[in-house]
Chain A
Amino acid sequence: MTEVIARSLRLSSPPDTVDTVQDLLATIWAQTPGLDDADRMAAELAIVELTANVIEHANEGGDITLTLSVVVYDERIEATVTDSGTVDRVPLSDGSMPESLAERGRGLPLMKLVSDSVEHHRVDGTNHWTVVRARRTASARTRRAMPSISIAGVIDEMARQRALDDMGILDTPPEERFDRVTRLAVQLFGVESAAITMIDHDREWSKSLAGLGSEEVPRTESMCAETVKGDVALVVPDLLLDERFAEKAQPDLFRFYAGFPLYAPGGERIGAFCVFDSQPRHFTVRETEMLRDLAAWVQQELTVSQELSRASEVQQGLLPQKLLSMPGWQIAGVCIPARAVGGDFYDWYPVGEGAAFTLADTMGKGIAASIIAATVRAVLRSAARFADVVGAIDAASASLSIDLDNAGVFVTAFHSRLDMDSGTMTYVDAGHGLSIVVRPDGSSQRLTSSSPPLGVDPETEWTQQTVDLNPGDTLIVVSDGVLDLYDGTLGALDNLAALALLAQDPWEIIAAIRARARGVTADDVTVLIVRRDDAV
């Protein structure tokens, strides 16, 4: 019977010392039947040398906190030490003893001598040490029966998962730039399927899949989970004939596999680029090289993804973060770009005895549109000094016209100012026309547009319009991506009006739209809502 003894201890030095560690070890040894003296002495020596070294050096002599865990299995004794010391470089590789009369420097070499494996990893500013001593008493049978889970492996997996999460790629919609590569691989190798997979917790998820197979596979059945264990191509001509992987084979569905690992920017293996087939086949050295080249291509696209996800963070940061302090009013907004970044934005900021509200939609999507959107936002904000919305939009239009002309794009915008006491909103609608006011009696009014978009005609005479927001009224401004969530026509505005009547507050409306937008955003989806509280 396999009995595992595990003890964990948190130490702070001072006052804790290696004596605290040795007292713990004494209780563990007492509970371990049949423990060989040589194993006990070796494990204790290794663990004491390790903790002494951490106490003395990891924080350059300063106070330190560390956690020690010791696990005694039938066939090995494993100890991990986790500390938050500042020292991240450890001379582990040099296991030689110092000259004979030296008083120091024997600790780590001694630890290496008496253990079967010593590993050090630094993850997120924390040192993780693992020392393993294989027990001499372990029989070949128990050795085989034990699952080979090493604590170092667990730490590697933690770093790997974090790197993958940071990529922000999981569960994102398919992208042509990845699909292109998998399609090409299918043609190039004449195989049934090719995939770009990510190994996420207990599943394999495909960013791109050409051919047969499912987007998600349990990790235990995944061949790519095997590929990420190494830095080389994993090629299995016939899974059924390979005892390591025979269990993963599916006759007439999954027999041949070749994969190459994919990496996060920090070098962690997060997934694989692979080809597979229902028939066994030979894979030549030349083909393996081609597979590696295609994997390198995917790798490059992944790096672009990483940059885009950073750009996305920057753009989300441009959306208003602070709630306006407007007693009697509720304000909410959301912007869900179709890609990492988009050409839509909404904005609000205090002006005089109220606030300015903007929603704009740049023609096009992606990075180019996002750069224009950021410019429009900045220009409109700086025009807040003008007394009215016409002055502001006029100034913005004048300074944007050259940029928009050069880029060959135009921007539709709803720009307004609200007097929060009277509820009077003045606005300019530059070719946008997707704003409605929903009244508590169930009626709704669309705020029609009478002006062209920004960037069409620099000589435009902007027309200012007015709408009164009475208690219980809700103004909803959306981008045309929201229409696509319904039937794609202006009729969608009726759906929004119905939604507004049912919803308790603006955030409920946003939550409903967000739920609809999940996974199907072909266009940027942006919503701005201003609701006046019911009269008391």
Chain B
Amino acid sequence: MDITVVHHPFGVAEVGVAGRLNMVTAARLREVIQGAVDEHHPNVAVDLSRVVFLDSSGLGALIASLKAVRQSGGELKLVKPAEQAQLVLELTNMSTVLAAFDSVEDAFPHD
């Protein structure tokens, strides 16, 4: 799994995940998002468009990160989940809690 972080000037950390988000990689995603929160980015957009596989462990990391972001007064949103990730979100009824958008700008409008 590859994780990239882009700090947008409008207070959003864009976290891009590529590869498998499973039991092996879940902890790393949490650390990266926690790091972004610690660097005073209230909002986090997680780009799941290049995630080839998401399982319950990966989902658990997203939920834990969502809670951490909210505690700092921000919000965590998803960007373009790939087909399999979208399936898992729907099966677990998490697509309402972890809302998905087409782009970072759609997720966090900054006008």
- Interface residues of chain A, those whose CB is within 8 Å of chain B, are 17-19, 22, 37, 41, 44-45, 48-49, 52, 55-56, 97, 100-104, 106-107, 109-110, 113-114
Contacts and interface: CB of A to CB of B under 8 A. Distances in A.
Contacts of A103: 60-61, 63-64, 67
A49 B97 contact: no
Contact of B22 (A18, A37, A104): A18
Q: Find the residue from B66, B88, B93 having the highest chain A CB count within 10 A.
A: B88
Interface stretch (B9-17, B50-58, B103-111): B50-58
A107 B56 contact: yes
Interface string B10-45: 000000000010111000000000000000000000
Nearest to A48: B55
A49 B55 contact: yes
Nearest to A100: B97
Contact of B59 (A56, A106, A113, A114): A106
B53 A22 contact: yes
A416 B22 CA distance: 76
A55 B23 contact: yes
B53 A44 contact: yes
A109 B55 CA distance: 12
A72 to B, nearest CB: 18
A19 B94 CA distance: 24
Given A22-B22, A55-B23, A56-B23, A113 B55 contact: no
Contacts of B83: 37, 41
22 contacts: A18-B22, A18-B23, A19-B22, A19-B24, A22-B22, A45-B53, A45-B87, A48-B23, A49-B55, A52-B23, A52-B55, A52-B56, A55-B23, A97-B92, A101-B66, A102-B63, A103-B63, A103-B67, A106-B92, A109-B92, A110-B55, A110-B91
Please give me the 6 A-B residue pairs with the lowest Cβ-Cβ distance, nearest first.
A106-B56, A107-B56, A103-B60, A52-B23, A17-B24, A41-B84
Given A22-B53, A103-B61, 14 more contacts: A18-B24, A19-B24, A41-B83, A45-B55, A45-B84, A48-B22, A97-B92, A101-B63, A101-B66, A104-B60, A106-B56, A107-B56, A110-B56, A113-B91
Interface string B66-94: 11000000000000000110011001111
A187 B59 CA distance: 67
Nearest to A52: B23
A17 B24 CA distance: 7
Contacts of A22: 20, 22, 53
Contacts of A97: 92-93
Contacts of A109: 92
Contacts of A100: 93-94, 97
A interface secondary structure, majority: helix
Contacts, number: 67
Nearest to A46: B55
B88 A101 contact: no
A12 to B, nearest CB: 15
A30 B109 CA distance: 41
A44 B22 CA distance: 12
A101 B91 CA distance: 15
Contact of A19 (B20, B67, B92): B20
Nearest to B96: A100
Nearest to B22: A18
Q: Find the residue from B23, B60, B63 having the highest chain A CB count within 10 A.
A: B23
Nearest to B85: A41
Contacts of B61: 103
Contact of B88 (A17, A52, A55, A110): A110
Contacts of A19: 20, 22, 24
Given A103-B63, A110-B88, A49 B56 contact: yes
Contacts of B53: 22, 44-45, 48
Contacts of A101: 63, 66-67, 97
B91 A114 contact: yes
Contacts of B22: 18-19, 22, 48, 52
Nearest to B93: A97
Nearest to B55: A48
A97 B22 CA distance: 18
A110 B91 CA distance: 7
Nearest to A25: B53
B62 to A, nearest CB: 9
A186 B84 CA distance: 63
A107 B55 contact: yes
Nearest to A108: B56
B89 to A, nearest CB: 11
Contacts of B63: 101-103
A231 B8 CA distance: 66
